[in-house]
Amino acid sequence: MSAPQQPPVEDESTLAGEADGFERLWTPHRMVYINGESKPAPGEEDHACPFCRAPTLADEQSLIVARGDLAYVLLNLYPYNPGHLLVCPYRHTSSYVDLRDDEAAEVASLTQTSLRVLADASAPHGFNLGINQGEVAGAGIAAHLHQHVVPRWRGDANFLPVVGRTKAVPALLADTRATLASAWAARGEPGAATP
């Protein structure tokens, strides 16, 4: 037996609520992030950590742009802007002060190269750099330290983040990853992922 069908709605005034004239930009893919799926809890084993899991996958699948010996660079799955990169140590640690000197040096070096590659690939007008250490500081994945590298352009912010808590990103992650991996290789930098 099939479920009863709803009659077609010919007049929006018959629906609950009032029409407000707004268009809706639906982003259901963000519910994974909002609900904390695939996010390790503090003290949880590193096998549950997406930043520990990413380097074990193919570069295209994990959105890795470049790999170093102690750290790597990947695209943020929920970017603020096209080219939003994360620089992560391979070792599972949540605190910047717990990085060994060689790890801190490679995170810094990969961050510098990320800035150069983004400048070559997309000519941003500026950058935001930062580490949100701890959940209260805004870290989406507090269990594994990561450095944000966010390219910025004049006029790239609009009403959507303020009013709609939504960010329109005009480029697909796979396309952005391929562009940045190619730009990394074109600079002759070590560790470039396959475009």
β-strand partners of 86:
74, 148
Q: Find out whether 15 and 21 touch, Cβ atoms under 8 Å.
A: no
Strand residues in the chain grouped as ranges (E) = 64-67, 71-75, 85-89, 126-130, 147-152
Query: Among all residues, which ones are annotated catalytic?
Result: 146
Q: Find out whether 151 and 144 touch, Cβ atoms under 8 Å.
A: no
Q: Which residues of 154-164 are buried (b: 16+ CB within 10 A; e: fewer)?
A: eebeeeeeeee
